[in-house]
Homo-oligomer: A and B are copies of this chain.
Amino acid sequence: MKLPILKPGAQDTVTAFDEELASLARALSHPARVAIVRHLAERGTCVCGQIVNVMPLAQATVSQHLKVLKDAGLVQGEVDGPRTCYCLNPETMKRFQSLVATLPA
């Protein structure tokens, strides 16, 4: 990406709040990822294959979406023998909800 220009007096317009909220919003900016989060919330915990079976996407694609959610801290994955068990990270979810609620409407 091209780096934005810098005007005098506009350095701190974009704050850490904005970066954090945007980063979490980006993780939830794809319908499949929202669906995965909902599914994990319903199931509590879920093996990767169960998610793949239920999603209209190839295994590689689902794995990629799970990685995005994991990198954002929204889900956690734990290797369990040959499987990987996923669950929500409620801390990050609450953090996101709190940031969104902070936005003035």
Contacts and interface: CB of A to CB of B under 8 A. Distances in A.
Interface of A: 4-7, 9-11, 13-15, 17-19, 21-22, 25-26, 28-35, 37-39, 41-42, 53-58, 61, 88, 90, 93-94, 96-97, 100-101, 103-105
Interface SS, A side: helix
Q: Which of A13, A37, A97, A104 has the most CB of B within 10 A?
A: A13
B96 A100 contact: yes
A35 B17 CA distance: 9
Contacts of A34: 14, 17-18, 21-22, 25
Contacts of A94: 105
Nearest to A37: B103
